[in-house]
Structure 1
Amino acid sequence: MTAEADVLTGVLDEWKAAVDAREPARVAGSFTEDAVFQGLHPYSVGRAGVAEYYASQPLGLTADYRVLETRRLAEDVVLGYVNVDFGFTDRPVLPVTLGVVLRRVDGTWLIAHYQVSRR
Structure 2
Amino acid sequence: MVLEDVMDRWKAAVDAHDPEGVAAVFTEDAIFQGLKPYGVGKAAVAAYYDSQPLGLKAEYKVLETRRLAEEITLGYLSVDFSFVDRPPITVTLGVIVRGDLIAHYQVSRLD
TM-score when normalising by structure 2:
0.98
Residue 58 of structure 1: how far off its partner (Å): 0.5
Residue 48 of structure 1: how far off its partner (Å): 0.1
Q: Counterparts of 1:16-95 in structure 2 under 5 Å? A: 16-95=11-90
Query: Which of 95, 98, 102 is residue 111 of structure 1 equivalent to?
Result: 102
Query: Which blocks of at least 5 consecutive residues in structure 2 are unaligned?
Result: none
Residue 96 of structure 1: how far off its partner (Å): 0.2
Residue 112 of structure 1: how far off its partner (Å): 0.1
Q: Counterparts of 1:6-21 in structure 2 under 5 Å? A: 6-21=1-16
Runs of 4+ in 1 over 6 A off after TM superposition: none
Partner of 2:97: 102
One-letter code aligned to 1:117: S
Residue 60 of structure 1: how far off its partner (Å): 0.3
Residue 8 of structure 1: how far off its partner (Å): 0.5
TM-score when normalising by structure 1:
0.92
Query: Which blocks of at least 5 consecutive residues in structure 1 are unaligned?
Result: 1-5
- Percent identity, aligned pairs only, is 67
Q: Measure, in 1, the Cα distance between the counterparts of 2:92 and 2:86.
A: 19
Tell me the number of residue pairs that the alignment of Structure 1 and Structure 2 aligns. 110
